[in-house]
Structure 1
Amino acid sequence: MDYVIIIFLCLAILLYFLLGGADFGAGIIELFTSPKNRSKTRKTMNQAIGPVWEANHMWLIITIVILFVAFPRIYTTMSVYLHIPLAIMLIGIIARGTAFVFRHYDAVKDQMQEVYNKIFIYSSFITPLFLGIIAGSVLSGKIDTQATDFVSAYVYSWLNWFSIAVGLFTVTLCGFLAAIYLIGESKADEDKKRFIKKAEFMNVGAVIFGAMVFTAAYFENVPLITWVFQNDVALLAVILASLSLVLLWYLLLKGKTKVLRVLAGFQVTRIQLKFKLPYLFTCS
């Protein structure tokens, strides 16, 4: 029964990352876009995420409910000892949603539009960053429930190199997903080429920060390599992710965008399998 619940939990996390993560990634893409191209990027992005951006948080709610009902001890530990990054993440979600509404639907286009744009862009970066930091904190086992001082209990539990590396890795994955999705939403060839370059940039960043995750895990004694390479499911995910990465780059360079969304989704799914399932099954 525990495995069934864990599978539903992983599915909710995966869907939130694939859908909500791509929404966050749209703001990240805008952050790394030159000022002269931001208006075009913003227009394409608004058309793509406008109808569905709010619904994606349903998967986050499902994740929280599953943790609260099925794993109350984990829920309590996270909500108490990780309350700082959780609060920052939630503030980012609220700020991002508010800014998106005002900049997209505000009838008066004045100087406040620039304020809304900045709030949207930076909250789109901060939110997945701290989402990844929270995930890294849980994976690393750095939460010290026996700590007697504030810093050890509520700061060092998440402020470490491994958690930060996971956070940056999460940011680049969100940006990568958004770039891939926006390629399909672009009608002009110029826009498609721009998003293809962004996808390549974010994918390189994901590889670099992914390597940083393993490096930080090694130096901070997080048994990540053991989880990944001594588990059949995770090892298979590593092999498939590596092979699909080559195919993904081939399709990007050739400009064949029809299957990129599916392939990018499978790529992120395999990364989730590689990191999350071995850990969760071990804990269960």
Structure 2
Amino acid sequence: MIYIVMAYLWASVLLYILMGGADFGAGILEFFSTRKSQERTRTVMYRAIGPIWEANHMWLIIAIVILFVGFPVIYTTMSVYLHIPLTIMLLGIIARGTAFTFRNYDAVKDQLQVVYSKTFMYSSVITPLFLGIIAGSAVSGSINPKATHFADAYIFSWLTPFSLAVGIFTVTICGFLAAIFIIGETKSETDKTRFVKKSKHMSIAALLAAALVFAIAFLEDIPLTHWLFGNAVSVACVALAVASLIWMWVSLFTKQTKLLRVIAGAQVTLLLVAITYEHYPVLINLKDSEGLSLLDNYGSPKTIQSLAVALIAGSIFILPSLFYLLYSFSNKREA
């Protein structure tokens, strides 16, 4: 049963990156658009994410519940030592959702629309930035459970160059996913050309951010290269991700956009497999001590069994409804 729970945890993280990431990316693309094109970008993005934006955070909630119920030691460690970036990320989600709702559904259109738009854009950047910071802090060994000072325990556990670089990389990935996913939602050739261009720009930004992550990992003596190239599975995943990146660029230049979503989703999936395979089953690396393993820090067998049954039962009811939601609004947009 523990492996079923672990599989759901990994899948929830992946789906949140793919769907929630594309959701955040909508605001990121708007943030980096010129004032002249912001209004059109906003309109196209709203039509695409408006009907389902709230459902994307379901995957984050599932991941948190799995950690809270099934892995209390790991959950406690993260929520204590990373409580500042976690709080900022959650506030960003709240601010973004509130701004999105009032900007698009407010009965009165006044000057507050400017405030709503800025809040939506800024929180769309801040939230994935701190999501990446949390991920970078968890794997880099910067969390020090033996710290005796507030700053060492609760500030420098996440405020590191490597974690910031991972945060920037996460922002670019979200923007890249949004640009790729939105191409299939556009009917206008002008819009399609604009988002193809944005996809190229965000792809380049993601590559530069990845290079920054590698450079800082080398300077801070973090074995990122070993994690990605130290075993056959990770090497194969990285090779396939590079090959799919070339395929994606060819598709963008030839405007063969039908498979772009599949390619982009496969790239992110392969990268997540590559980075987590070497870590398995450790979820958090601690400073100057052993990491926290999922296989050594789970709850009682009865709790894990009940959690696994609940996750399977929930999938049977929730996933068909979610797919129907996507299908319904997809047909509505086409109508």
TM interval, shorter chain, is over 0.9
Q: Which residue of 2 aligns with 1:78?
A: 78
Query: After superposition, where does 1:19-58 map in structure 2 within 5 Å?
Result: 19-58=19-58
For normalisation by structure 2, the TM-score amounts to: 0.83
Q: CA RMSD in A?
A: 1.1
Supply the AA of the counterpart residue of 2:208: I
Q: Distance in 1 between matches of 2:229 and 2:208?
A: 19
Supply the AA of the counterpart residue of 2:108: V
Q: Please identify runs of 4+ aligned residues in structure 1 that moved more than 3 A.
A: 1-4
User: 1:130 Cα deviation (Å)?
Assistant: 0.1
Q: Which residue of 2 aligns with 1:151?
A: 151
Q: Which residue of 1 aligns with 2:216?
A: 216
What does the per-residue CA deviation read over 1:73-113, in whole Å, with 9 as the maximum and x for residues that have no partner?
11101000000000000000000000000000011111000
Q: Secondary structure at the match of 1:187?
A: coil
Q: Distance in 2 between matches of 1:3 and 1:229?
A: 25
User: 1:155 Cα deviation (Å)?
Assistant: 0.5
Q: How many residues align?
A: 284
The answer on whether the counterparts of 1:6 and 1:280 sit within 8 Å (CA) in structure 2 is no
Is residue 2:227 matched to residue 1:227? yes
Supply the AA of the counterpart residue of 2:222: V
User: 1:277 Cα deviation (Å)?
Assistant: 3.1
Q: Distance in 2 between matches of 1:19 and 1:242?
A: 22
Q: Distance in 2 between matches of 1:40 and 1:14?
A: 30
Q: Which residue of 2 aligns with 1:268?
A: 268
Supply the AA of the counterpart residue of 1:123: S
Query: After superposition, where does 1:178-189 map in structure 2 within 5 Å?
Result: 178-189=178-189
Q: Distance in 2 between matches of 1:4 and 1:87?
A: 29
Which consecutive residues of structure 1, in runs of 5 or more, have no partner in the other structure?
none
Q: Which residue of 2 aligns with 1:63?
A: 63
Q: Distance in 1 between matches of 2:18 and 2:280?
A: 20
The answer on whether the counterparts of 1:93 and 1:127 sit within 8 Å (CA) in structure 2 is yes
Query: After superposition, where does 1:1-284 map in structure 2 within 5 Å?
Result: 1-282=1-282, 283=293, 284=295
Q: Distance in 1 between matches of 2:259 and 2:243?
A: 15
Supply the AA of the counterpart residue of 1:22: A
Supply the AA of the counterpart residue of 2:226: T
User: 1:212 Cα deviation (Å)?
Assistant: 1.2
What does the per-residue CA deviation read over 1:17-56, in whole Å, with 9 as the maximum and x for residues that have no partner?
1001100000000011111111111111111001110011
Q: Secondary structure at the match of 2:207?
A: helix
Supply the AA of the counterpart residue of 2:119: I
Q: Distance in 1 between matches of 2:89 and 2:104?
A: 22
Q: Distance in 1 between matches of 2:268 and 2:121?
A: 23
Q: Distance in 2 between matches of 1:77 and 1:4?
A: 23
Q: 1:233 to 1:7 in 2, by over 3 A?
A: farther
Q: Distance in 2 between matches of 1:107 and 1:3?
A: 49
Q: Secondary structure at the match of 2:53?
A: coil
Supply the AA of the counterpart residue of 1:146: K
Identical aligned residues as a percent: 58
User: 1:2 Cα deviation (Å)?
Assistant: 4.1
Q: Distance in 2 between matches of 1:253 and 1:46?
A: 26
Q: Secondary structure at the match of 2:280?
A: helix
For normalisation by structure 1, the TM-score amounts to: 0.97
Q: Secondary structure at the match of 2:157?
A: coil
Q: Distance in 2 between matches of 1:4 and 1:141?
A: 27
User: 1:71 Cα deviation (Å)?
Assistant: 1.7
The answer on whether the counterparts of 1:3 and 1:281 sit within 8 Å (CA) in structure 2 is no
